Amino acid sequence: MANSKYEYVKKFEMEDKLPPCNWIIVRIDGWHFHGFSDTHEFDKPNDENALNLMNSCAVSMAEHFTDIVFAYGVSDEYSFIWSERSQSYGRRASKILSLCVSYFTSMYVIKWKDFFPQKDLKKPPCFDGRIVLYPRVKMVRDYLCWRQVDCHINNQYNTCCWMLIKSGKSEKEAQELLKGTLAKDKNELLFQQFGINYNELPDIFRKGSCVYKDYAEEMVKVDACGNPVKRRRERVVVGHFDIIGDGFWDEHPYILK
Count the Cβ atoms, other than its own, within 10 Å of residue 36: 19
Q: Which of 16, 37, 116, 201 touches ligand ATP (CB under 6 A)?
A: 37
Binding span for ligand ATP by CB under 6 A among 18-26, 34-42, 78-86, 162-170: 34-42
Size, binding site for ligand ATP by CB under 6 A = 15
Binding to Mg ion by CB under 5 A, coded x per residue (else -) over 91-130, reads ----------------------------------------
Q: Does 150 bind ligand ATP (CB under 6 A)?
A: no
Find the binding residues for ligand ATP in span 44-73 (CB under 6 A): 44, 46-47, 50-51
Q: Does 75 bind ligand ATP (CB under 6 A)?
A: yes
Q: Does 23 bind Mg ion (CB under 5 A)?
A: no
159-162 contact pairs (CB < 8 A, 24+): 159/45, 159/186, 159/190, 159/196, 159/198, 159/201, 159/205, 160/186, 160/189, 160/190, 161/45, 162/44, 162/45
Q: In what helix (H) or strand (E) does residue 47 lie, and over which residues does it extend?
A: none
Kindly tell me which of 208 and 241 has the beta carbon lying closer to Mg ion. 208
246 φ, ψ to 5°?
Answer: -85, -15
Q: Does 76 bind Mg ion (CB under 5 A)?
A: yes
Q: Which of 24, 25, 26, 33 touches Mg ion (CB under 5 A)?
A: 33
Using CA atoms, how far residue 11 sits from 19, 90, 93, in Å, is 21, 18, 18
d(CA 81, CA 62): 10
Residues annotated within the binding site are 29-30, 75-76
